[in-house]
Amino acid sequence: MCLLKSGFVAVAGRPNVGKSTLVNALCGGKVAIVSDKPQTTRRRITGIANGDGYQLVLSDLPGFQRPRDPLTERMQRTVDQSLEDVEAVLLVLSARERIGAGDRFIAERVFKLGVPVVIALNKVDRLKPGHIAEQMKTGARLGDFHSLHPVSALTGDGVGELREDLVGLLPEGPAYFPVEQRTDLTPEVQIAELVREKALQLTREEVPHAISVEVDELTDTVVRATIFVETESQKQIVVGKGGSVVKQIGVRARPEIEHLLGGHVFLDLKVKVRPKWRRDEAMLERLGI
């Protein structure tokens, strides 16, 4: 029998430091959506990296924050639960921002879990070596870490070494997922997330936080989904003049959905107002948050 190193690693860090981008890079393909808006990830997303003799299962998590409503409370709970029973934690920092109170808040929690903490200092692309060195020193003061890797999830710099290091921390174990599987999300959820990613790209300020997406119908050739917002004015923004914004969301999402499903699809997107959905526990449950 061929021995496998396998296990779970949680990926934690402040919003927007590049956790999802890094999980995608470590898995060698897109499992989690990414945006320049904080709090893009709302649920735990499992990304699976398979390689020679290993299966590294990464849990991409929402950025830590202070809960404000049932949505963010649930996100916080997800983070807490996901930090239990892992072999290691990958703590992600951004080299482009000041490493400060937000990072220390997260560090305090992960360093007391009693498992190795690997720090990734992300976004080092195009930064001066002196600045990277300074940030590495600050990051190193966060706690008793196993190792610290300067990386760029965007260019892939340092990602191979980081992956090897994480695999080194895994015990021998079974394959938890079939090797061809890269994520635990259903096709419906992956499609809803892709649509949400494009909606986030095309909106600003409070609108991205008010957007959620549900797939209503999925067949081999047809995808129907609804983009929910909380107010009429947000709906106008997401629909756009003469439907231009929602159309653009579709134009951007369709190729990725087709890639996922492996064929041409007709994509129908609707925009609907659902007041205060962020406080609607039943809807949050349905969204898997």
Ligand X SMILES: Nc1nc2c(ncn2[C@@H]2O[C@H](COP(=O)(O)OP(=O)(O)OP(=O)(O)O)[C@@H](O)[C@H]2O)c(=O)[nH]1
For the chain, counts of helices (H) and of strands (E): 9, 9
Is there binding between residue 116 and ligand X (CB under 6 A)? no
> Do 265 and 222 contact (CB within 8 A), yes or no?
yes
**For 184, which DSSP code?**
S
From 7, 8, 9, 40, residue interacting with ligand X (rule: CB under 6 A): 40
- Does 90 help bind ligand X (rule: CB under 6 A)? no
DSSP 8-state secondary structure symbol assigned to residue 38 = S
Question: Quick one: tokens of 62?
Answer: 């929402």
Backbone dihedral angles phi then psi of residue 68, each to the nearest 5 degrees: -120, -25
Alpha-carbon gap, residue 229 to 208, rounded angstroms: 9
Q: Whose CA is closest to 40, among 158, 196, 187?
A: 196
Under rule CB under 6 A, residue 16 binds ligand X: yes
Binding mask 34-63 for Mg ion (x = CB under 5 A): ------xx----------------------
Would you count residue 16 as binding Mg ion (CB under 5 A)?
A: no
Region binding Mg ion by CB under 5 A among candidate stretches 13-21, 149-157, 210-218, 253-261: 13-21
Of the pair 88, 151, the CB lying nearest ligand X is at 151
Q: Is 82 in the site for Mg ion (CB under 5 A)?
A: no
Residue 65 binds ligand X, judged by CB under 6 A: no
Closest approach, Cβ 109 to Mg ion, in A, equals 18
Q: Considering only residues 8, 10, 20, 87, which one is a binding residue for Mg ion as defined by CB under 5 A?
A: 20
Q: Closer CB to ligand X, residue 18 or residue 250?
A: 18
Q: Using the 8-state DSSP alphabet, how is residue 226 labeled? A: E
Measured from the CB atom, the residue of 40 and 78 that comes closer to Mg ion is 40
| By CB under 6 A, residue 66 contacts ligand X | no
Residues near 228 by beta carbon (within 8 Å), at least 6 away in sequence: 211, 212, 213, 214, 271, 272, 273, 274, 277
Residue positions counted in the chain = 289
Residues of the shown chain interacting with ligand X in the complex, contacts defined by CB under 6 A: 13, 15-21, 34-36, 38-41, 62-63, 122-123, 125, 152-154
Binding stretches for Mg ion (CB under 5 A): 19-20, 40-41
